[in-house]
Chains A and B, each alone.
Chain A
């Protein structure tokens, strides 16, 4: 016999998870470089929905800031930063200089160039379309950029970073489209997320109703069915 109550319970659990993901997307509606997490159900067995997620890598809108160390990319690639846990991918953002002139992201992780960490001396910093960093016109290093192999799901890490995949792929020159003086806004669409949230609540109520109905049937079976009338 298909276990309806267990299926309804799986559905409830799925929608709770979905609400958590939606809440996180909404909380990060203004986080620069944030990529929304999409959640969908996968059928396990014949009636149990199980949550699965994928990162929505669509580009957010670019906002001009004019800051020399604000960086975005109009490509599918990522910049590479060095964190204590290893190398991580980033979509750019507001960079800064560490005390020793090392170029870092806003959390202090060094941004990696092709020659390693990028150390800048005083002067005017320019970064061209292919990520070549120059100080007063003198080239220093080229920013390393990688792309995820097609079909892989980007794994989030805290600090608006992503985990690099098993195979590392350099992004070809000419397709990097690095933009200096821009930041990429979050790609969360608040309107559709809001609609999603409403439907989550309704679906949750429906699943709860299904569960109580099935429970009611069992109550009838166990309490009333064997009763001798009169």
Chain B
């Protein structure tokens, strides 16, 4: 009976982890370009128990070997890299990616980070930076006298300069794409890092070779769907409850066994 208790306890622990993941998804329901996570589980080792001897059995029938599982464990938490809804902001330096790809940003430690959060700004030195202040690769300089910035679907950044409104191309935004974006490592601040599981970054221009296109004046919203998360939360809660019932049931059976000797 003791194994039944521990088996049910692993089930409760799993559901608790699942609730934590759901809580984080719900907390980020309004985070720009947030991608929801999903916890998934696998079963634990199986123990093969022979039916063993049956007391007083006249014919030694061969008893079937049966497998008893010992519970569940967390196999991993995966990020679901689905497109979030595109929200219009009308701010010229807000850029959403519709389709695959990530903006590349230069992190302070020298490595390259990847983000889909395109709420950019211009730093004091005139470079295009993210809202956290990381330079967007390949460092686009916005001239001091520019009055308007246009970003095309293919990533070409054009500045309208001076009083005579001359149009100058000042750079082109590049995107990076991964074979398995779910394998990227979340770094916080909407930034992801490349990992062996994500595969190497493939760099290219927007709207080319399977890259998504850029939309100026828009941002990508969070891909968390509240209803979906609520449903998941209810199932996690019920599964937690049901595992606690299994513990209670095993406990009551033990108490029955204890009560046999008066």
Interface residues of A (CB under 8 A from B): 3, 6-7, 9-10, 12, 15-17, 19-32, 34, 37, 39, 42, 44-46, 48, 50-53, 65-69, 93-94, 96-101, 106-107, 120-125, 135-136, 155-160, 183, 190, 193-194, 197-198, 200-201, 204-205, 208, 211-212, 215
Which A residues are in CB contact (< 8 Å) with B100? 124
Contact between B249 and A45 (Cβ–Cβ < 8 Å)? no
- The docked-state distance in angstroms from the alpha carbon of A87 to that of B238 is 36
Contact between A125 and B76 (Cβ–Cβ < 8 Å)? no
- The docked-state distance in angstroms from the alpha carbon of A17 to that of B14 is 23
Contact between A123 and B80 (Cβ–Cβ < 8 Å)? no
- The docked-state distance in angstroms from the alpha carbon of A99 to that of B194 is 11
Selected contact of A23 from candidates B75, B81, B246, CB within 8 Å: B246
Residue of B nearest to A14 (CB): B51
Residue of A nearest to B209 (CB): A136
Contact between A156 and B46 (Cβ–Cβ < 8 Å)? yes
Other than A125-B180, A159-B75, give 5 A-B pairs with Cβ distance below 8 A: A19-B253, A45-B59, A97-B199, A197-B249, A208-B260
**CB-defined interface of B65-102 with A at 8 Å, one 1/0 digit per residue?**
01111111001101011100000000000000000100
Least CB distance, B112 to chain A, in whole angstroms: 16
The interface on chain B, measured as residues whose beta carbon lies within 8 A of the other chain's beta carbons, has a size of 74
B226 at the interface (CB under 8 A from A): no
Least CB distance, B241 to chain A, in whole angstroms: 10
- The docked-state distance in angstroms from the alpha carbon of A29 to that of B78 is 19
Contact between A107 and B42 (Cβ–Cβ < 8 Å)? yes
Least CB distance, B136 to chain A, in whole angstroms: 22
Contact between B4 and A19 (Cβ–Cβ < 8 Å)? yes
B187 at the interface (CB under 8 A from A): no
- The docked-state distance in angstroms from the alpha carbon of A40 to that of B20 is 37
Contact between A37 and B57 (Cβ–Cβ < 8 Å)? no
28 chain-A/chain-B pairs, Cβ below 8 angstroms? A10-B55, A17-B49, A19-B4, A21-B68, A23-B7, A23-B246, A24-B7, A24-B71, A27-B71, A28-B11, A30-B239, A37-B67, A42-B64, A45-B58, A45-B61, A52-B64, A52-B66, A66-B80, A94-B78, A96-B182, A107-B42, A120-B179, A122-B177, A158-B43, A159-B75, A197-B249, A198-B249, A201-B256
Residue of B nearest to A24 (CB): B69
Contact between A201 and B249 (Cβ–Cβ < 8 Å)? yes
Contact between A20 and B179 (Cβ–Cβ < 8 Å)? no
